[in-house]
Amino acid sequence: MKRVVTAFGILAILVYAQGFEEVDIAELGIDELAGSVSFLDYNGDGRIDFWAGYAYLNDGEGNFTKLETSKWGGGEIVCWGDYNNDGYPDALTCRTVWIDTTPRKDTCFILLYENSGPPDYVLVDVSEDVGLGFPILDRDLNDPAWLDYDADGLLDFYYSSYEFVPLNSEEDYPYWSGHEDYLFHNTGSGFEDASEAAGIREGGTDTLCARGVSVGDYDSDGDVDIFVSVYRLQPNILWRNNGNGTFTNVAEEAGVMGIFSEDYYGHNIGAAWGDYNNDGYLDLFTPITHHPTYPGDYTSHLWANDGPPEWGFTDHFAESGMNNSEIGSAPVWTDYDNDGDLDLYWLNLYGSPGKQGWLYRNDGDNQFTDVTLKVGIKTWGSKSYVLWVDINQDGKMDVYAPYSYSGETHKVFFINTAERGHWLQLDFEGRESNRSGIGTRVWAYCGDLMVIREAAPSNGNGYGSMFIARQHLGLADHEMIDSLIIRWPRGRIDRIRSLAADHLIGMVEGPPSAPARLTYSWLGGDSYYFAWIPSPERDVAGYRLWQRFGSADPWHIIADAIPACSTRYTVMLEPPLAEVSITAYDYCEEDAESPHSPVATGVEEDPFAPSGLNFEVGSFSRIIPCRFSLPTISDVSLEIYDPAGRRVRVLASGQYHAGTHELRWPGTDEEGRALGSGVYFVRLVVDGEKAIARKTILR
């Protein structure tokens, strides 16, 4: 427990016990910051690494080792994405050269560093090779964001442009002169400037002082939209994606331009998308920058998405219980307590009420409570951003929150130590869509709780990249997810039923297939991370993990009903780990065969091949008729299985006489409870011969 030698030391110890414990990054192995801090899985091992000019590789418990070969060539704010779909994240940034002339001319260069992958993971400057790296004169590029705006499976990017700053303020040049933003399209062989063709230079937007870029599908139509925070008392921009490669600014119609007061709008540095009220639509928070007595927008905005058909926004900040600040910035939505709704962190850069940050707990009904001091992450002093991430993979969100106070710089994590609710963490790997999974949306249904997340490339705070591909979902007291729906950027929908909480799962786009190779690594404590490479030989319905302690011992299931579209999974096991194996099942079995080799499939024949049984299952309306014919008296079982392989209903078990029989299933389990929508399996066994039918229930 860290002791704080101040008048507030005893209080600090008390609140640490309630939530977070402060740890200096040096204690975790991080000794040098040489670039914009980011969190990402830099080397593809399933662990979230720390990056700041070098990659610091995570051992799974939140301890880091510097990868010397990963040092970059320099730049400013960094945004990560796999532009060439090779499986390793690449760095997008820019470099600004200030030429000492009058008026000052800022020359910018957009830079792209490609991650070379194993063994050295070198960041190679490929800017000129892909059509970037040329000088952009008289510009102050600010915030980059990856996105696939045309859903072609390749990452494009948007770059905001701030303002022209003259060397001599008395020069006859507008001090608040903004410039056009940039949209570059990925052609597969390089990047082309698509700004004009996409329409992002229209309607006077090319003279605005843009800051943070926040990407999200606010109108739920499947393509990404862009909110641009604008400074210098100018209106914000909301680019609605028209679905044909073009955008339209709808900020005025949607009501997110900001308040027009005394002939001016506001100063906005950044914004954050997130569904804070769990209604299934992305909401928007924008902290305001407003000096007392100055004109323009004077309040922060908690804009709730009204949904269809207009897709406008209603501001609830005044009733939220949150306080205004003079220089609000760097908002982040995060579910720090895993209670199923998004909480909000943002900070004041300077001015009233002092340099500080706030963590507001979401209490529902548009109400928030300041818990910063209570949970132990209150700091005084200047900071420009915070980054929330689960660095030790325990399912609880930690926070990197550097700050300066009394002339000293504190580079610290606050580790989330309190008992929290259940959770789920997901990694996305696109195949037809972009490999990073940027733009993927997920819905999780647990009883009366519905949670959505969307993998976005930037937090849009204007000071640093927030993108972490891994999505964290708090689930409150729910131990199971009833239904998980994944919408990939190119439109594919995957649905998973009956998924256990408290796991990290890697999801892969496309038809699931049998595993070809199983690997695992120890994450520390009793947590193990398993990964497998699918084989395209045949489709499967799901996976099971097994272990045994000796070659003569029986195999035991250690994880069941793993989603078929996954390739990674975490399991809690007592070390040391014994011999492990994975099997794929093609249909739902009551008792799966155990593996006979390090990788087995569990099913030796195609269960859906034609059988000699006369078996017919009708379509679902209110009742599903199941008919079968017997030539002689026979032993019969007729059972229903859910997608996780669990038997949910027995319709028949015993001897039946010769002839045609019809049994009617109303879509309920043994207790008479209606089963949810999804695919179910009807299995008939007659004197040992099997027949299987798939049926879909839609409610």
Whether pLDDT at 519 is above 80: no
* pLDDT score of 282: 96
What is the per-residue DSSP string for 400-422?
A: E--EEETTEEE-EEEEE-S---E
Confidence of residue 173 (pLDDT cuts 50, 70, 90): very low
Q: Which of 643, 537, 469 is nearest to 42 (CA)?
A: 469
Confidence of residue 592 (pLDDT cuts 50, 70, 90): very low
- Is the same domain home to 580 and 621? no
* pLDDT score of 316: 97
Q: What distance in Å separates the CA atoms of residue 30 and residue 280, rounded to the nearest whole number?
A: 39
> Which of 6-20, 258-272, 306-320, 578-592 is least confident?
6-20
- Is the same domain home to 233 and 356? yes
Confidence of residue 439 (pLDDT cuts 50, 70, 90): very high
Q: What distance in Å separates the CA atoms of residue 594 and residue 587, rounded to the nearest whole number?
A: 15
Supply the CATH number for residue 662's domain.
2.60.40.4070
Q: Which of 505, 586, 577 is nearest to 547 (CA)?
A: 577
* pLDDT score of 16: 31
Domain membership of residue 464 (yes or no) is no
Confidence of residue 165 (pLDDT cuts 50, 70, 90): low
Pick 539 or 301 by higher pLDDT. 301
- Is the same domain home to 240 and 378? yes
- Is the same domain home to 110 and 210? yes
Domain membership of residue 645 (yes or no) is yes
* pLDDT score of 327: 82
Residue range 310-325: mean pLDDT, rounded: 94
Contact present, 602 and 583 (Cβ < 8 Å): yes
Q: What distance in Å separates the CA atoms of residue 310 and residue 217, rounded to the nearest whole number?
A: 14
Whether pLDDT at 488 is above 80: yes
Domain membership of residue 538 (yes or no) is yes
Domain membership of residue 493 (yes or no) is no
- Is the same domain home to 163 and 304? yes
Whether pLDDT at 2 is above 60: no
CA separation, residue 26 to residues 22, 43, 66, 408, 459 (Å)? 12, 22, 12, 15, 26
* pLDDT score of 385: 81
Give the pairing type, strands 135-136 and 141-147. unpaired
Contact present, 282 and 274 (Cβ < 8 Å): yes
Whether pLDDT at 356 is above 60: yes
CA separation, residue 532 to residues 124, 508, 527 (Å)? 29, 11, 17
Whether pLDDT at 458 is above 70: no
Pick 258 or 405 by higher pLDDT. 258
- Is the same domain home to 669 and 630? yes
Whether pLDDT at 262 is above 50: yes
CA separation, residue 506 to residues 128, 271, 510, 564 (Å)? 34, 28, 13, 11
* pLDDT score of 521: 61
- Is the same domain home to 634 and 577? no
- Is the same domain home to 572 and 632? no
Alpha-carbon torsion 312, 316, 322, 323, what sign? Answer: positive
Most confident of 82-91, 177-186, 449-458: 82-91
* pLDDT score of 83: 97
Single residue among 429, 448, 464 that ends a domain in this structure: 429
* pLDDT score of 295: 80
Residue range 444-449: mean pLDDT, rounded: 92
Supply the CATH number for residue 328's domain.
2.130.10.10
Per-residue pLDDT tens digits for 364-403: 999 999 999 999 988 777 777 888 999 998 999 999 988 8
Q: Which of 572, 573, 575, 574 is nearest to 394 (CA)?
A: 572
Q: What distance in Å separates the CA atoms of residue 508 and residue 66, rounded to the nearest whole number?
A: 29
In the chain, % of residues over pLDDT 90: 42
- Is the same domain home to 555 and 639? no
Domain membership of residue 513 (yes or no) is no
Confidence of residue 664 (pLDDT cuts 50, 70, 90): confident
Confidence of residue 410 (pLDDT cuts 50, 70, 90): confident
Domain membership of residue 140 (yes or no) is yes
* pLDDT score of 81: 94
Distance linking the first and last C-alpha atoms of the chain = 53
Contact present, 482 and 676 (Cβ < 8 Å): yes
Q: What is the DSSP-derived secondary structure letter of residue 152?
A: S
Residue range 238-247: mean pLDDT, rounded: 96
* pLDDT score of 228: 94
Tokens of 396: 């609880």
Single residue among 377, 402, 429 that ends a domain in this structure: 429
Contact present, 456 and 534 (Cβ < 8 Å): no
- Is the same domain home to 529 and 648? no
- Is the same domain home to 625 and 556? no
* pLDDT score of 166: 54
Tokens of 614: 């006369």
> Which of 251-255, 442-446, 670-674 is least confident?
670-674
Q: What distance in Å separates the CA atoms of residue 489 and residue 233, rounded to the nearest whole number?
A: 35
Contact present, 153 and 84 (Cβ < 8 Å): no
Most confident of 553-562, 582-591, 680-689: 680-689
Domain membership of residue 447 (yes or no) is no
CA separation, residue 390 to residues 26, 190, 406, 431, 549 (Å)? 18, 34, 29, 26, 32
> Which of 436-450, 579-593, 622-636 is least confident?
579-593
Contact present, 599 and 582 (Cβ < 8 Å): yes
- Is the same domain home to 276 and 214? yes
CA separation, residue 228 to residues 239, 263, 376, 621 (Å)? 8, 21, 33, 48
Report how many domains make up the chain: 3
Domain membership of residue 100 (yes or no) is yes
Q: What distance in Å separates the CA atoms of residue 445 and residue 458, rounded to the nearest whole number?
A: 26
Q: What distance in Å separates the CA atoms of residue 360 and residue 274, rounded to the nearest whole number?
A: 14
* pLDDT score of 622: 65
Single residue among 410, 429, 448 that ends a domain in this structure: 429
What is the per-residue DSSP string for 95-144?
A: EEEEE--SS-EEEEEEEEEEE--TTT--EEE-TGGGT---EETT--EEEE
Residue range 415-434: mean pLDDT, rounded: 93
Residue 256 dihedral angles phi and psi, to the nearest 5°: -120, 20
* pLDDT score of 241: 96
Structural domain for 663, as ranges:
615-697
> Which of 199-208, 440-449, 488-497, 529-538 is least confident?
529-538
Whether pLDDT at 602 is above 50: no
